Amino acid sequence: MRASVIVYWAAKEGSSATEYEDAWQVVPGTGDEVPGDWVGVAVADGATESSLARLWAAMMAEEFAVTSGAVHDAYLFADTALALSSRWPAVVKSYIAERENAARPLRWYERPGLEKGAFATLLALQVNIDGQLVGGAGTQPELVGPGFPRVIGGWTSAALGDTCLFHVRGGQLQAAFPLNDSAHFDTSPALLGSFDADPEAIVDHVRFAEGTVAEGDDFFVCTDALAAWFLARAEQGGQPWETLRDLTEIGFAEWVSEERQTNSLRNDDVTLVHMDVW
Amino acid sequence: MPYVAEISRTNPSCFIFLVDQSASMVDPIGGEVKMSKADVVADALNRLLTELAIRCAKEEGVRDYFHVAVLGYGGRSAQSAFGGVLQGRGLVPISQVADHPLRVDQRTKLKPDGAGGVIELKTDFPVWVEPLANGATPMCQALSEARDLVSGWIGEYLRGFPPIVLNLTDGEANDGDPHASARELTQLRTNDGAVLLFNLHISDAGGSPITFPANSSSLPNVYARSLFDMSSELPPHMREYAANNHYDVSEGSRGFVYNSDIVSLVQFLDIGTRALALR
């Protein structure tokens, strides 16, 4: 596929890398030219105030990056989430055993958090490239020509919470999903819980979006602090995607640090997945 | 905008609890519950400390988002009410508070069983402070000690979310007018706003419980009105959280509670994404 995928992440300032509680998964993988004609991305953001959030976020990202039905259908999304939560009691049991084996049994203040479960937001994105459309053959005739993008496929996304997807085409923000206003971020987003058992509650909160993929498109998946920054810049008439496109692996940490110092970026774990279709 | 500072380990906040341990606290609160005011206040304080520790708990231990002091006042003095390893300590990181209760009791909690009945659950109940009732009520001295602690803390954490001082009392100060001491305390400020003074009034005067009122018209007696006058307004963000959690609050609502639960106050502060199930 003529697309590159790169992932950047940074732990909250004052936290160590082992305390980073976002998680991400890209299938088949990151790189300058992703093999195949399909890419699955999932980013989860573990809630600070929950125990084992990092582990739960990692389980969610791993599963939702590859479960294709979950990005189309609310009940399949809920089924996927509930299948994960059915595995959670064994994860907790194993964690407690590990702690006991390490002569570090649970303290009284840890038990309520473990009983409540872990929580995380989630955004899953799947991009399909249609081989027949690449190179022009079969491209919708009305969209071919100077000034029109060459459509080569489609994307679908599912989200629960405030991890966001931004789709940029031709210097314009095509889609901001599921939030499109920087004022809509707070400390109580919808979260998937590791003890969730009610599919209807999940169905009520999950959101879906879809669109086309054209040569030159950019997709940015951002956890909440970066998503809020992105939208705030766009609301001020800026082009935040240009800033993110220009980042490099080394430059990302420095840029995050600078933005935090000026309070432009809230101090939180930050994850960015950038897919550049070329 | 004030009261928006991040609360983190690098930028912690501060809680100072003032516990009335004077002789009048031995009186029962009245009604059907057979507890003394001292029992009620000690219970509230232990639950506040428990909730704070649980909110800050992660896999590696309790994160020091808060520094905490507990001052007891009764007889002639106001002094640290911590016992055991923490005896005599002033402000202590919450991780050390969590690790050093005097003991951890077991309590029974009733929980719906989902089929119309209830089941009994054993839960841990850590105890840091025992009920005490002795001598006079040096509330002014307690507020003055709190001011000294706060002043030292602000010197070190000027960028922090302003300290919260929570006074748990029956309101019968007898070492002077506590308003002056309260004003001196709440004039101190970090870059993020002035110190917040809240009051839990435990009274045997009866009447309905009152939570975060915006005026004193419904308060039953002079002690309640006095404590209300001393109490800071809830900052907008805390008020918003209270409203979202079904408290009847309005602009001007103060951090004052009369014969009701104040433990939820701990939830009004943001320390990161809240762990809330889908509803």
In this structure, which amino acid lies at residue B181? S
Q: Which residues of B touch A (CB under 8 A)?
A: 6, 8-11, 50, 53-55, 57-62, 98-99, 104, 124, 126, 244, 270-279
Per-residue pLDDT of chain B (279 residues; tens, 9 = 90+): 799 999 999 999 999 999 999 999 999 887 666 789 999 999 999 999 999 999 999 998 999 999 999 999 999 899 999 999 999 999 999 999 999 999 999 998 888 787 888 888 889 999 999 999 999 999 999 999 999 999 999 999 999 999 999 999 998 898 999 999 999 999 999 999 999 999 999 988 888 899 999 999 999 999 999 999 999 999 999 999 999 889 999 999 999 999 998 888 888 888 888 888 887
B178-186 and B139-156 helices cross at what angle (nearest 10)? 10
Contact (CB<8Å) B98/A107: yes
Residue A147, pLDDT score: 65
* H helix and E strand count, chain A: 7, 11
Taking the CA of residue A265 as centre, how many other CA atoms within 13 Å lie in the half-sphere pointing to its CB?
Answer: 27
Rounded to a whole number of angstroms, the distance from the CA of B24 to the nearest CA of chain A is 33
pLDDT at A146: 56
Q: Are the CB atoms for A9 and A20 separated by under 8 Å?
A: yes
Please check whether residue A138 is in contact with residue A130, taking contact to mean a CB–CB distance below 8 angstroms. Answer: yes
Distance from CA of A82 to the nearest CA of B (A): 13
Q: Which of A205, A195, A196, A122 is nearest to A157 (CA)?
A: A122
DSSP letter, residue B233: B
Residue A138, pLDDT score: 46
pLDDT at position B115 is: 81
The amino acid occupying position A15 is S
Q: Which two tokens stand for residue A129?
A: 């490239």
Instruction: Report the pLDDT value the prediction gives residue A248, as an integer from 0 to 100.
Output: 80
Check: CB of residue B190 under 8 Å from CB of residue B158: yes
List the one residue out of A22, A275, A272, A273 whose CA is nearest residue A127: A275
Per-residue pLDDT of chain A (278 residues; tens, 9 = 90+): 899 999 999 999 989 999 999 999 999 999 999 999 999 999 999 999 899 999 999 999 999 999 988 999 999 999 999 999 999 999 999 999 999 999 999 999 999 999 999 999 999 999 999 877 765 544 454 455 556 788 999 999 999 999 999 999 999 999 999 999 999 998 889 999 999 999 999 999 999 999 999 999 999 999 999 999 999 999 999 999 999 999 887 799 999 999 999 999 999 999 999 999 98
CA–CA–CA angle B81, B83, B84 (5° rounding): 165
Q: What is the pLDDT of residue A144?
A: 52
pLDDT at B124: 93
A113 touches chain B (CB under 8 A): yes
Closest CA to B7 of B78, B56, B70: B56
**Cross-chain Cβ contact A198/B278 below 8 Å:** yes
Alpha carbons within 13 A on the beta-carbon side of A132 = 3
B54/A204 touch (CB, cutoff 8 Å), yes or no: no
Q: What share of chain B is helix, strand, coil (3-state, %, to 5)?
A: 30, 25, 45
Instruction: Label the pairing between strands A119-129 and A151-160.
Output: antiparallel
What pLDDT, on a 0 to 100 scale, did the predictor assign at position B19? 97
Q: Which residue of B lies nearest to A45 if distances are taken between CA atoms?
A: B273
pTM for this predicted structure: 0.91
Dig out the tokens for B38 from the structure.
């001292």
A5 touches B at CB < 8 Å: no
CA distance A126 to chain B (A): 25
